[in-house]
Chain A
Amino acid sequence: MRFFKLIVPVLLTALLIAPAATIAGEYNMVMSIGDPLPVFENTPTTDGGTLSSADLEESVVVLVSLANHCPWVRGMDAGLVELVEQFKGQDVRVVGFAVNHRDDDRLPAMKEHALMSGYNFTYMYDESQDLGRKLGATRTPEYFVFNADRKLVYMGLLTNSPARKTRSGEISFINGDPVAFHVANAIAATLAGEAVDPAETRAHGCTLEYE
């Protein structure tokens, strides 16, 4: 009897704690590795069209949260364009999305920024913020890589060294020249049918502004 008096509260406590510890990723409070790509429909893009998740046919899909105003996005823009170029001709699709409602992050400003930065990928405006919320995206830039089954295989940083555009316009890498190319490695591993390692890193950047 005494044993049960002791064990019941312990088990109840364990049951309460366990879901909190396993419900999401280490650095993401909504998504876990292996979760499905959230559905999105008819989301407007900077090229004047729309995009739905059902339109994505490639073996690997990369979603990345962006915000034009963010120095960490501006610092990483060249690296993102380079990433798309690196996998050109392969079965990979990169899609950027913005969610903020501030004027300098909305669709008209996105069109200007995409042009100015030479964006070579689809850039869409998730005005409802629904996709951003479902992804648990909270920082810009934050990368999400999905495999052919549309299961999440990687989320987090582009590389080990986030880059910021300074007030004077220079690009500053916080850990020097990047040496670990997390997203590129995740894409390559997924294309090769291999496991992604690391599957999650701590994204760094501006906080998304959910209304």
Chain B
Amino acid sequence: MKRIPCLIFTLCLLASGSIWAENTDGQSAANTSTELQPISFAQWDGILEKQLGKITVVDFWAAWCSPCIERFPHMVEMHHKYKDRGVRFISLNLDEQGDKESIDWANDFLERIKAVFPNYHMDENMTEAFERLDLLGLPAVRIYATDGTETHRLSGDNPYQQFTEKDVENAVQNLLIQ
């Protein structure tokens, strides 16, 4: 059931004949800033569409999520390890819309750990964001192959199937050797 929205999204992209391209503006911004960029649902769809040609790792997180904060430095490590091998890292922050206190904290955190890849803040109602993105909890990681297909959906949604940072790295390595 939970894969249906993803499937529909992928099919819509294929049907529309969208051509994903390198987001050169986003790339240059990523190299110079760690600051969260507020985005809407429509903008988020556009950002995903622009990653075609790269393996893309998306980390969903929030300042209120302790495991997210604990795991985030691993994303930064992986970014440095794989950035020159065609792997793109993106974070999507899901703190409350208009919650300046949390967003300021998140920006300080991103700067402190030098998260020099594109960091976005979903500037939408949180309930709608979790529904629209088909998220139950955080942290969650989704990985997309070079053709835009979602290949891995890692989350804590099943108590019998939790994920670790190692699972994220294994998934990236598996995609790289394909």
Chain A residues near B (Cβ < 8 Å): 20-21, 26-27, 29-30, 69, 71-72, 129, 132-133, 136-139, 162, 164, 166-168, 172, 174-175, 202-210
In the complex, the answer to whether A136 meets B64 with C-beta atoms within 8 Å is no
Chain B residues near A (Cβ < 8 Å): 1, 64-67, 96, 99, 101-102, 105, 125-127, 130-131, 136-139, 156-160, 162
What's the least CB distance linking A98 to chain B, in Å? 14
In the complex, the answer to whether B136 meets A202 with C-beta atoms within 8 Å is yes
In the complex, the answer to whether A132 meets B66 with C-beta atoms within 8 Å is no
What total count of A-B pairs have CB within 8 Å?
Answer: 72
Instruction: Say which residue of A30, A71, A167 sits within 8 Å of B158 (CB atoms).
Output: A30
With A174-B125, A174-B127, A209-B67: A168-B101 Cβ-Cβ less than 8 Å = yes
Q: Which residue of A lies closest to B96 (CB)?
A: A174
In the complex, the answer to whether B137 meets A172 with C-beta atoms within 8 Å is no
In the complex, the answer to whether A139 meets B159 with C-beta atoms within 8 Å is no
The majority secondary structure among interface residues of chain B is loop
In the complex, the answer to whether B66 meets A206 with C-beta atoms within 8 Å is yes
In the complex, the answer to whether A207 meets B67 with C-beta atoms within 8 Å is yes
Q: What are 7 A-B pairs with beta-carbon distances under 8 A?
A: A21-B1, A72-B64, A136-B159, A138-B158, A172-B96, A174-B125, A209-B156
Q: Which residue of B lies closest to A71 (CB)?
A: B64
With A175-B125, A204-B127: A27-B137 Cβ-Cβ less than 8 Å = no
With A26-B1, A174-B125: A207-B159 Cβ-Cβ less than 8 Å = no
With A21-B1, A174-B127, A210-B159: A164-B136 Cβ-Cβ less than 8 Å = no
A32 to B150, CA, bound (A): 27
With A21-B1, A202-B136, A205-B137: A167-B102 Cβ-Cβ less than 8 Å = yes
The residues of A that contact B156 with a CB separation of less than 8 Å are 138, 207-210
Instruction: Say which residue of B101, B126, B136 sits within 8 Å of A138 (CB atoms).
Output: B136
